[in-house]
Structure 1
Amino acid sequence: MSTRVAPLTLETLNLLPHHTRRCVFWEMDPGAVIDTQAFCDTELEKEAWLSSVLLNWGSCGQLLYLNQGEVAHLPRVSGCALYAPPSLVPRARLFPTSPVSADAILLTTLYVDGIAEAEGFHEILIRGVLEDLIKRGVRAIEAFGHIRDAECTSHAYSLVHRKPGDCTPETCMISAERLLDAEFKVVAPHHLFPRFRLELDRDHGWKADVEAALMRLLESSTLSMAGPSSPGTV
């Protein structure tokens, strides 16, 4: 089983997982969604938002492709991550832990399916997001986490969740536990919607390159010291 992460493009929008493809929890003003709910085509609205961000800001998503070997003729998308400047994310201003820091990009979606989850491939997806943002000189990435076992009767919850239906914090937000596992740090505590931050700098990529180079040198040195097998050696 192999994986790869590739940037979301206009040509691959249709490969987004079904729920992500039609969910506008982050992308539409909640008030507008309620006012137009009877005739709002959320899939079309999501495509319009993604297209606008891609064309005006650049890469705003990563797709995780999973190849299960000879059983599958083509790799399939097993996960996705979406991110954008907070000014382009209407719901970001509603949280009790808003606003997002001025130097940060907001991570809104981090989804992997059951197979990818079981294999821990969400880490590969997160790495793809970080590599893209580091290359673009972004200083930090932030996210609003949702504490899954918290009470959902608070005033804060009602402010954030204004749209009836299946788009809720439980289904459309990243769990606080997942963000902590990815080494995000809490910068704005809250019993339900803490805001997390991960500092980015070019040293992340530089250190990874150095570590990989050192590993290759170590392997090469080990092989050289072992030398070729002597004749008659079993």
Structure 2
Amino acid sequence: MPRAVCPRCERPASVCLCRSLPAAPVDTRSELLILQHPAEAAHAKNTAVLLRLGLARCRVLRGERFDPAAWAGPRQSVLLYPGPGPAVALPPPVAACRLILLDGSWRQSRRLLAAHPGLAALPRLALPADRGGRYALRWAHRPGQLSTLEAGLLGLEQLGEDAGILCPYGRHSTHLSRPAWRGPAGAGLAPAERRPAGIPARRVLT
């Protein structure tokens, strides 16, 4: 018999996260665009859905080919992905920015960039090397590996968003339960519990 899955947070009903999401989506100045590989969408610990539900200006597009119009327009698009050159330095204000995340393995991300030269040519934003994973949804197998959830939130912080939008997931137990979202007002919920599953070393943002 298939297990029940919450239609909103896409988690098994036994670990539904809806009660721990913000009462209303957190409004940020920057937009977050997640380009998600189809294989990642079905992953049991896909965290992009938490960004989509918790942030007012977040879109998730799934596929292997995308219309470049998705990252065109009046906002300055910035790609959160390591590049050969120095990371972009963006002056404030950040209100017109669009932060783009690639949700998939390194191989999938490289193929995505190869198929979309315009995307690969965008200015790139890099996270500080000392900002390791600190949320409890997944374990990293290598220093600096982050989930899509934490990469997106830390990227927004780099663009000048208030650090209060970050979700301080606790690491107290072995089962995932309630993550803590903090909006601009600083209201928090109970911390999440940790589960033992880890990210494969080949994955980057999941």
Asked if Structure 1 and Structure 2 have the same fold, meaning a TM-score greater than 0.5 normalized by the shorter chain, the answer is no
Q: Which has the higher contact order (CA 8 A, sep 6+)?
A: 2
Q: Relative to total residues, which structure has the larger helix share, 1 or 2?
A: 1
**TM-score (normalizing by structure 2):** 0.28
